[in-house]
Amino acid sequence: MSSTATMPGQRSAMKAAGAQSRRAVKVMAVSAPEKPSSSAPAVPAGLNKFSSRITQPKYQGASQAMLFATGLREEDMIKPQVGISSVWYEGNPCNMHLMDLAAEVKKGVEAMGMVGFRFNTIGVSDGISMGTDGMSFSLQSRDLIADSIETVMSAQWYDANISLPGCDKNMPGTLMAMARLNRPSLMIYGGTIKPGHSRMDGSVLDIVSAFQSYGAYSAGLINEAQRVDIVRNSCPGAGACGGMYTANTMASAIEALGMTLPYSSSIPAEDPLKKDECRMAGRYMLELLKSDLKPLDIMTYKAFENAMVLVMATGGSTNAVLHFIAMARACGVPLTLDDFQRVSDRTPFICDLKPSGRYVMEDIHKVGGTPAVLKYLDSKGYINRDCMTVTGKTMGGNLAEVPELRAGQDVVLPVEKPIKQTGHIQILYGNLAPEGSVAKITGKEGLLFEGEALVFDNEEDMITMVGAEPNKFRGKVVVIRYEGPKGGPGMPEMLTPTSAIMGAGLGKECALITDGRFSGGSHGFVIGHVTPEAQVGGPIALVKNGDKIVIDVEKRVMDMKISDQELAARKAAWKAPPLKATSGTLYKYIKNVSSASTGCVTDS
């Protein structure tokens, strides 16, 4: 069966999805400001307050000569200039279509009488680099994206920014730049990928299916033909990884934050509605410039609360913790690990989405999109309705205009019958993590795990052992250390280890703790972001094979059962291993990056 073939039972859902999508476009189009008539001035005077620094003074003639060379005309010199930054590159399905989307944004900007200048920034594919040293470059790409957008926007004197991210670190990187610049800005998400389908049995596949195929193959649960079928059919085209993994988590949360147009996070990458959204962005951008509504007017503490609520309700990635803290810092908004625990304690987990559930982001689109989820949460009192958004309306104003969740759907459960009464993200402290750690507990794993430590000083050794001797992991607390921001370096994601564990059928028989991160695709009894990290002498560096470790989620404690005296003796004998990079970009990152508990920022 073709991976793009319509599956049994999908036709009615697709028909309903089409109707729901048309309603979405109608809402966006009706809400959009009117396009000026051809006889009226396209843009009021004075909206070019940054670009006028180079387009107006006679002494900036060389600047103007350069702009004329790009094709601008005399009348363009008084128009506001919009920097259109896309995280485009060909080698990743999450990003490969963003150049085309940026072209549509430019059309929409110019149709409103403004000048649009496209530029790119860099990206790293976590899916491609996962399980290799390439993952050391992933998290730092977030800050490089922020730095590069800030650099181009500032040096070129653009008046506003529209950013088009696609993959995990892209979203927080663009938002951090917007906060630093504080010029009218909005984000357009590149969109989610369609689900893949097995050619052998028609089952639904996604990128995590491909990751877990190795563990299943090693454990003898599937054969080589099945493994190849999964790998070749998991990713059918453009778009970000399909479940509620990091990219979709961050896109949804940023929509809840108010920095995208409604439906941006849930419209799939290859849906025609995505290009409609891109063209429509120019109309909203003109209004943002007219009203001088800027990112720091939108990204307030209460708006971050809305974003955290959506992450908890949807079962989103633990990476949101790291990225929100970094984004909030760029906004001057105080946000800590404990804020996540507070929101988690009052927010039910209600969306049955992968990696722990049945559905993918396209299914959210089919039942009404992210705005419908927010509207439902708002009806139950979980949303701060007075937060401003890039539409120029409050969150409550936006939600008043959107349709409700489709009747009869089972992707989003009632808050009265949730998957879990509270959020899946839990903040744990204890003698293993005195500065905190981040657990992803959906409820299916249990709330207590005790076992002996099985310690690895790197990810590769653990992957080798689980492939060769999976039974050694039963009942153990697997510790993967020296994978933090400085030690990794770059705090790589442990999706390959968690996928190997789940694929081998060990998901309920061992726990995994690390000073690295977890992909949004990770699930199981997993605790990451352990701080202080091993490279700086944190307690995780002192664990030995056989040490008893207790993880108690209800008490929010993670301890190794050794005496304070023994812990002190081990600390006195510990020596930091050599840094894994001594020059180049990773060395600069090691020297500048803060701890995971403060967002892994590089400008503190």
Share of the chain above pLDDT 70, in %: 93
What average pLDDT score do residues 40-54 get? 87
What residue ranges of the chain are covered by domains with CATH 3.50.30.80?
Answer: 425-598
Q: What is the pLDDT of residue 200?
A: 97
The answer on pLDDT for 103 being more than 80 is yes
What pLDDT, in 10s, does the model give residues 442-456? Answer: 877 788 999 999 999
Nearest to 82 by CA among 57, 54, 48, 52: 48
The answer on pLDDT for 7 being more than 60 is no
Q: How far apart are the first and last CA of the chain?
A: 53
- Asked whether the beta carbons of 518 and 494 are under 8 A apart, the reply is yes
Task: Please report which confidence band the pLDDT of residue 523 belongs to, taking 50, 70 and 90 as the band edges.
Answer: confident
Per the model's pLDDT, the better-predicted residue between 441 and 154 turns out to be: 154
What pLDDT, in 10s, does the model give residues 361-409? Answer: 999 999 999 999 999 999 999 999 999 999 999 999 999 999 999 999 9
The answer on pLDDT for 130 being more than 90 is no
- Asked whether the beta carbons of 337 and 324 are under 8 A apart, the reply is no
Rounded to whole angstroms, the Cα distance separating 251 from 370 reads 10
Q: What is the pLDDT of residue 505?
A: 86
What pLDDT, in 10s, does the model give residues 262-281? Answer: 999 999 999 999 999 999 99
Q: What is the pLDDT of residue 29?
A: 56
Average pLDDT score over the chain: 93
Rounded to whole angstroms, the Cα distance separating 413 from 295 reads 32
Q: What is the pLDDT of residue 146?
A: 99
pTM of the predicted model, to two decimals?
Answer: 0.93
Q: What is the pLDDT of residue 23?
A: 61
Q: What is the pLDDT of residue 213?
A: 92
The answer on pLDDT for 141 being more than 90 is yes
- Between vectors from CA 336 to CA 333 and to CA 340, what angle results, nearest 5°? 110
DSSP letter, residue 541: G
Q: Which residues contact 293 (CB under 8 A, 6 or more apart)?
A: 184, 287, 388, 390, 392
What pLDDT, in 10s, does the model give residues 219-265? Answer: 899 999 999 999 999 999 999 999 999 999 999 999 999 999 999 99
- Asked whether the beta carbons of 551 and 449 are under 8 A apart, the reply is yes
Give the active site residues: 519
Task: Please report which confidence band the pLDDT of residue 169 belongs to, taking 50, 70 and 90 as the band edges.
Answer: very high
Q: What is the pLDDT of residue 508?
A: 86
Q: What is the pLDDT of residue 36?
A: 47
Task: Please report which confidence band the pLDDT of residue 525 belongs to, taking 50, 70 and 90 as the band edges.
Answer: confident
Q: What is the pLDDT of residue 96?
A: 98
- Asked whether the beta carbons of 371 and 402 are under 8 A apart, the reply is yes
Task: Please report which confidence band the pLDDT of residue 21 belongs to, taking 50, 70 and 90 as the band edges.
Answer: low
Q: What is the pLDDT of residue 54?
A: 98
The answer on pLDDT for 330 being more than 60 is yes
Give the Å distances, CA to CA, from 132 to 19, 484, 496, 497, 589: 43, 15, 9, 12, 18
Q: What is the pLDDT of residue 30?
A: 46
Enumerate the β-bridge partners of residue 162: 84, 186
Q: What is the pLDDT of residue 496?
A: 83
SS (H, E, C) 277-339: HHHHHHHHHHHHHHHCCCHHHHCCHHHHHHHHHHHHHHCCCCHHHHHHHHHHHHHCCCCCHHH
Per the model's pLDDT, the better-predicted residue between 90 and 523 turns out to be: 90
The answer on pLDDT for 90 being more than 80 is yes
Q: What is the pLDDT of residue 3?
A: 35
Task: Please report which confidence band the pLDDT of residue 11 belongs to, taking 50, 70 and 90 as the band edges.
Answer: very low
Q: What is the pLDDT of residue 187?
A: 99
Hey, what CATH class is 425-598 in?
Answer: alpha beta
What average pLDDT score do residues 172-191 get? 99
Count CB-CB contacts under 10 A for residue 56: 13
Q: What is the pLDDT of residue 518?
A: 87
